[in-house]
Amino acid sequence: METFFFVFVATFALGTALAMVLSKNTVNSALFLILHMLSVSGFYLSLNAQFLAVIQILVYAGAIMVLFLFVIMVLNMDEDEQIVTKVDFKQIFAVLVTVIVLAQLLYIVGNFTGALPDFSQQELMAIGTVEAIGDEMFTTFLLPFEATAILLTAAVVGAMLLAQKNVNVEDEIE
Amino acid sequence: MEAPIISSYIILGAALFVLLNSAAVCVYAERRIAAFIQNRVGPNRVGPFGLLQPIADVVKLIFKEDVTPSYGNRILHSVAPLIPVTTALMTVAVIPFGDGLFITDLNIGILYLLAIASLGVYGVTMAGWASNSKYSLLGGLRAAAQMLSYELPMGMAIASMVLFSMSLSLVDMVNAQIYWWGIFVNPIGFIIFTIAAFAEANRSPFDLVEAEQELVGGFHTEYSSMKFGMFFLAEYMHVVIGSMLITVFFLGGYHLPFAGYYAHLLPEAGTLAKAILDISVFGAKVAFMVFVFIWVRWTIPRFKYNQLMSLGWARLLPLSIANFVIIAFILMMIHEFF
């Protein structure tokens, strides 16, 4: 059952990832990326990390990708704006970065010898719950957690300031 | 999470059946109540009291021509109506209808609800984009902005109720309200949640998504036949789901008011009698909330878009956060000193 689930989700994830990269239409790409994120949450589920699975959908598929889609739809990129016209420095650089990242990934996977830490099914279930994650977050990882909170607050205030500034400029023009 | 048992499949089937049909009942109720409020008669020709009107409507929708805009995206145009219906049906998986009468008791049920609700945005957005019409696109973008904005106060209102139940499971949520319903201990949360539920269902007074004067029909301008019917179905299913969630979070689910104080005085009911009683109580509360949804639609005029946004971000969100912090403080004080 678990193998079947894994094969299904893995095929789905690979298929949507390929479709996302290969599809010509930007909106279609974004939609395939959403499907891909749903399949990633399927992986989390099969590892009994229910909290992560739901948060993956809630944050990435439900909030961030909506904004991406929003922007893409408003910009309304047409097919004749394809960038594959001439090979420039940017593309060579992109290929280089891709090859490096792929090499790193292969290096990590190739060096991997031992299996995952040996947990029983019950232990795995206990680790993935909200209570366990909250417990860890507010004891062991309290400082990184609070630092992230401050960082996010700063980002929100910055975004507000940028938006506010534009409003003032418009007022002056009027 | 235990393996599903036979009874959860039976409840799943029954719940999906009831939910799909509740949309038809809601359409009939909406038209009759609207007529009553506006001093008209309403549909009364098809069947006794016009009860067969929804069936006639559906038959009409099925036989209409299905038009796809010629320069739109054909596939997305067809997929879009499925999404709101699917998300509405998926919600039912975690709602407890009675004592032991739930499909599954997820320990992250509330997060699951929020995640599913957040996916509903895509149906409307895709419908707006795939139609290749400026009215549809504007309607879709409005819907996305509105639903994203009202998810936050909704989440905070739910979080303030989680403080009472100390659990993200909906079964625990209902059982925590056996003595005092959520509406009595957390009235501000109830008001915020109800307003947000109206906005999430795209119902008047927040139906700017399909404001006729400005956007013709909003995101479903280019939809006809049963594809339009799906959006129609989804809207009423979201009304029913919203009513169920209000019932579960704030109206004590299947418990009678203050049931904990006198439940032991009542004669012991058998399993079947108890199940029937639970479902009747739950159903009555849901029916009342559906009535409130319809009542508000025909009483309160539509908001302007800037009013909608400032209500969501400048009023409801700070209020819901303040409500959450104050309740957390009070509960901690009670825990500390009593």
Q: Which of B275, B281, B282, B204 is nearest to B239 (CA)?
A: B204
Beta-carbon separation of A58 and B118 below 8 A: yes
**Per-residue tokens: A23:** 């599809």
For Cα atoms A11, A16, A22, give the angle at the middle one, nearest 5 degrees.
Answer: 125
Question: Which of B114, B309, B63, B36 has its CA nearest to residue A61?
Answer: B114
Read off the pLDDT band of B19 (50, 70, 90): confident
Tell me, yes or no, if the pTM score tops 0.80.
yes
How many contacts (CB atoms, under 8 Å) link A and B? 64
| A50: chain B residues, CB-CB within 8 Å | 1, 106-108
Mean pLDDT of the B255-277 span: 78
**ipTM for the complex shown:** 0.79
Nearest to A58 among B111, B145, B148 (CB): B111
pLDDT of residue A85: 59
Lookup: tokens for B230: 């799906």
The arithmetic mean of pLDDT across residues A63-70, rounded, is: 84
**If interface means Cβ-Cβ distance under 8 Å, which residues of chain A face chain B?**
25, 27, 31, 34, 50-51, 54-55, 57-58, 61-63, 66-67, 69-70, 73-74, 125, 129-130
Total number of domains in chain B: 1
Q: What is residue A143's predicted lDDT score, i.e. its pLDDT?
A: 92
Paired tokens of B265: 């005085």
Given an 8 Å threshold on Cβ–Cβ distance, is B107 in contact with A69? Answer: no
Establish if B81 belongs to a structural domain. yes
Residue B271 lies in a domain: yes
Amino acid (1-letter code) at residue B57: D
Residue B326 banded pLDDT, cuts 50, 70, 90: very high
Domain that holds residue B77: 8-337
Nearest to A54 among B115, B129, B144 (CB): B115
B108 touching chain A per CB within 8 A: yes
Q: Which of A31, A37, A40, A58 to mutate to test the interface with B (most CBs of B within 10 A)?
A: A58
| pLDDT tens-digit readout, A10-41 | 999 999 999 988 887 788 888 899 899 989 99
Interchain proximity B141–A61, CB inside 8 Å: no
CB B111 to CB A54 under 8 A? yes
A113-150 per-residue burial string, b: 16 or more CB within 10 A, e: under 16: eeeeeeeeeeeebeebbbeebeeeeeeeeeeeeeeeee
Nearest to A61 among B119, B126, B145 (CB): B119
d(CA A159, CA B322): 22
Residue B281 lies in a domain: yes
Query: Is pLDDT above 50 for B1?
Result: no
B108 close to B79: Cβ distance less than 8 angstroms: no
- Where b means 16+ CB within 10 Å and e means fewer, B321-331 reads eebbeebeeee
Evaluate whether residue B122 is within a structural domain: yes
Per-residue pLDDT, B3: 57
Q: Which of A27, A31, A58 minimises the CB distance to B114?
A: A58
Residue B118 has pLDDT above 90, yes or no: no
Q: Which residues of B fall within a CB distance of 8 Å from A128?
A: none
State the nearest Cα–Cα gap between B3 and chain A, in angstroms: 13
Least confident of A53-57, A118-122, B162-166: A118-122
- Model confidence at B248: pLDDT above 60: yes
Chain B positions touching A54 (Cβ under 8 A) are 108, 111-112, 115
How far is B112 from chain A, CA to nearest CA, in Å? 6
3-state helix, strand, coil in chain B (%, to 5): 70, 0, 25
| Consecutive H or E run containing B215 | helix B212-215
For residues B150 and B197, what is the distance between their CA atoms, to the nearest angstrom? 8
B79 close contact with A: CB closer than 8 A: no
Closest CA to B97 of B243, B257, B208, B231: B243
- State mean pLDDT over B89-117: 84
- Please write the tens of the pLDDT for every residue from B145-196: 888 888 889 889 998 888 888 888 888 888 888 888 888 888 888 999 999 8
Secondary-structure breakdown of chain A: helix, strand, coil percentages, each rounded to the nearest 5 = 85, 0, 15
Do the Cβ atoms of A73 and B108 come within 8 Å? Answer: no
Residue B2: inside a domain: no
Mean pLDDT of chain B: 84
- Please report whether residue B226 resides in a domain: yes
Q: What is the distance in angstroms between the Cα of B281 and the nearest Cα belonging to chain A?
A: 31
Pick the residue of A28, A39, A46, A73 with the most B CBs within 10 A to test the interface with B by mutation: A73
Whether the CB of B122 is below 8 Å from some CB of chain A: the reply is yes
